[in-house]
A and B are shown apart, each in its own frame.
Chain A
Amino acid sequence: MLHIPCPWCGERDEAEFRYRGDASRSRPAADAGLEAFVEHVYERVNPLGWHIEWWLHVAGCRKLLKVERDTETHQIRWVGNPGDPVPSKDELHL
Chain B
Amino acid sequence: MNHGPSRVADGLLTRAGGAVQFFFDGRAVQGVTGDTVASALLANGCLLLGRSFKYHRPRGPFTCGPHEPCALVDVLSAAGREPNRSATTLEIYQGLNVRSQNRWPSLRFDTLAINDWLGRFLPAGFYYKTFMAPGWAWERIYEPLIRRAAGLGRIDQHIGKCPIRAETVHERTDVLVVGAGPAGITATYRLGQSGLKVMLVERDVILGGGTILDAHWTEWRKQMLERLSALANVRALTRTTVLSAYGHGIFAALEDLGANMQQEPAGPRERLHIIRARRVVLTTGAVERLIAFPGNDIPGVMLAGAALAYLRRYGVAVGRRPALFVNSDEAYDAAFALQATGAESINIIDIRSESRAAERARAAGITVRLGSVIVKAIGRSAVRAVCIREQSRRRQVTLAADCVLISGGYSPAHALASQLGAALRWQNAVAAFVPELSAQLGNLAGAVRGLVGLASAARDGEAAAAAVACSLHQSLAPEADLRIPHEPPSSPLQDLWEVRDVGKAFVDLQNDVTTDDVRLAQREGYEHVEQMKRYTTHSMASDQGNIGGLVGTAVLATARGIHVADVGLSKPRPFATPVPLGALAGTQFGKHLKPTRRLPLEAWHRAAGATFVTAGYWLRPLVYSHEPGWEPVMREARAVRHSVGISDVSSLGKIDVQGPDAARFLDFIYANAFSTLDVGRARYGLMLREDGILLDDGTTARLGHDHFLVTTTTANSANVLEHMEFHLQTVCAEFDVLCTDVGDQWAQFSLAGPRAREVLGTVVSDLELSNRAFPFMAVASATVANIPGRVFRISFSGELAFEVAIPARYASKAWTALLDAGRAFDITPYGLDALNLLRIEKGHVAGAELNGNTTAGDLGFGRMLKKKGDFIGRTLARRPGLNAPDRSQLVGVRPTDRAQPLRNGMQLVTPDDAAIVGFITSSVPSIALDGWVGLALVAGGRDRIGQHLVGKSPVQQESVGVELVDSRMFDPENLRARC
A74 surroundings in chain B (CB, below 8 A) = 247-248
* Contact B729–A30 (Cβ < 8 Å): no
* Contact B690–A1 (Cβ < 8 Å): no
* Contact A64–B875 (Cβ < 8 Å): no
**A9 interface contact, C-beta 8 A:** no
Q: In the assembled complex, how far is the CB of residue A94 from the closest CB belonging to chain B, in whole angstroms? A: 12
* Contact B247–A64 (Cβ < 8 Å): no
* Contact A54–B726 (Cβ < 8 Å): yes
Contact among B247, B440, B876 with A2 in the assembled complex (CB-CB below 8 Å): B247
**A24 interface contact, C-beta 8 A:** no
A62 surroundings in chain B (CB, below 8 A) = 725
* Contact A73–B440 (Cβ < 8 Å): yes
* Contact A41–B876 (Cβ < 8 Å): yes
**B482 interface contact, C-beta 8 A:** no
**A56 interface contact, C-beta 8 A:** yes
Q: In the assembled complex, how far is the CB of residue B531 from the closest CB belonging to chain A, in whole angstroms? A: 23
* Contact A1–B875 (Cβ < 8 Å): no
Chain A residue with minimal CB distance to B870?
A: A30
A38 surroundings in chain B (CB, below 8 A) = 876
Interface residues of B in 924-969 (CB under 8 A from A): none
A18 surroundings in chain B (CB, below 8 A) = 722
Interface residues of A in 36-54 (CB under 8 A from B): 37-38, 40-42, 54
Q: In the assembled complex, how far is the CB of residue B946 from the closest CB belonging to chain A, in whole angstroms? A: 35
**A88 interface contact, C-beta 8 A:** no
* Contact A75–B730 (Cβ < 8 Å): no
* Contact B875–A3 (Cβ < 8 Å): no
When A2-B247, A74-B248, A83-B733 are in contact, do A34 and B726 touch as well, CB less than 8 Å?
A: no
Q: In the assembled complex, how far is the CB of residue B881 from the closest CB belonging to chain A, in whole angstroms? A: 11
Which of B247, B441, B875 gathers most chain A CB within 10 Å?
Answer: B875
**A33 interface contact, C-beta 8 A:** yes
Q: In the assembled complex, how far is the CB of residue A19 from the closest CB belonging to chain B, in whole angstroms? A: 11
Contact among A34, A82, A83 with B876 in the assembled complex (CB-CB below 8 Å): A34
* Contact B421–A73 (Cβ < 8 Å): yes
* Contact B730–A82 (Cβ < 8 Å): yes
* Contact B726–A56 (Cβ < 8 Å): yes
* Contact B731–A26 (Cβ < 8 Å): yes
B-side binding surface: helix, strand, loop or mixed?
Answer: loop
Interface residues of B in 241-263 (CB under 8 A from A): 246-250
**B530 interface contact, C-beta 8 A:** no
Q: How far is the CA of A57 from the CA of B248 in the complex (A)?
A: 18
* Contact A73–B726 (Cβ < 8 Å): no
Q: How far is the CA of A23 from the CA of B289 in the complex (A)?
A: 48
Q: How far is the CA of A72 from the CA of B441 in the complex (A)?
A: 12
Chain A residue with minimal CB distance to B421?
A: A73
Chain B residue with minimal CB distance to A32?
A: B875
Chain B residue with minimal CB distance to A3?
A: B248
* Contact A1–B247 (Cβ < 8 Å): yes
Using an 8 Å CB-CB cutoff, how does the interface string of A57-82 with B read, 1 for contact, 0 for none? 01000111000000011110000001
* Contact A73–B247 (Cβ < 8 Å): yes
Chain B residue with minimal CB distance to A34?
A: B875
* Contact A41–B691 (Cβ < 8 Å): yes
* Contact B876–A37 (Cβ < 8 Å): yes
**B874 interface contact, C-beta 8 A:** yes
**A89 interface contact, C-beta 8 A:** no
Q: In the assembled complex, how far is the CB of residue B245 from the closest CB belonging to chain A, in whole angstroms? A: 10
Contact among B248, B249, B733 with A82 in the assembled complex (CB-CB below 8 Å): B733
**B809 interface contact, C-beta 8 A:** no
* Contact B729–A64 (Cβ < 8 Å): yes
**A27 interface contact, C-beta 8 A:** yes
B718 surroundings in chain A (CB, below 8 A) = 58
Q: How far is the CA of A1 from the CA of B245 in the complex (A)?
A: 9
Interface residues of B in 690-736 (CB under 8 A from A): 690-691, 718, 722, 725-726, 729-731, 733
* Contact A75–B440 (Cβ < 8 Å): yes
When A41-B690, A56-B726, A83-B733 are in contact, do A1 and B876 touch as well, CB less than 8 Å?
A: no
Using an 8 Å CB-CB cutoff, how does the interface string of B427-444 with A read, 1 for contact, 0 for none? 000000000000011000
Which of A2, A37, A38 gathers most chain B CB within 10 Å?
Answer: A37
B441 surroundings in chain A (CB, below 8 A) = 73
* Contact B248–A1 (Cβ < 8 Å): yes
A30 surroundings in chain B (CB, below 8 A) = 870, 874-875
**B813 interface contact, C-beta 8 A:** no
Which of B246, B247, B870, B874 gathers most chain A CB within 10 Å?
Answer: B247
B690 surroundings in chain A (CB, below 8 A) = 27, 37, 40-41
**B425 interface contact, C-beta 8 A:** no
A32 surroundings in chain B (CB, below 8 A) = 875
* Contact B247–A20 (Cβ < 8 Å): no
Chain A residue with minimal CB distance to B741?
A: A62
Q: In the assembled complex, how far is the CB of residue B437 from the closest CB belonging to chain A, in whole angstroms? A: 11
Q: How far is the CA of A27 from the CA of B249 in the complex (A)?
A: 35
Interface residues of B in 850-871 (CB under 8 A from A): 870
Q: Can you sample 23 A-B contacts with CB below 8 Å?
A: A1-B246, A1-B248, A2-B248, A3-B250, A26-B731, A27-B731, A30-B870, A30-B874, A34-B879, A37-B690, A38-B876, A41-B690, A41-B691, A41-B876, A58-B718, A58-B722, A64-B726, A64-B729, A64-B730, A73-B441, A74-B247, A74-B248, A82-B729
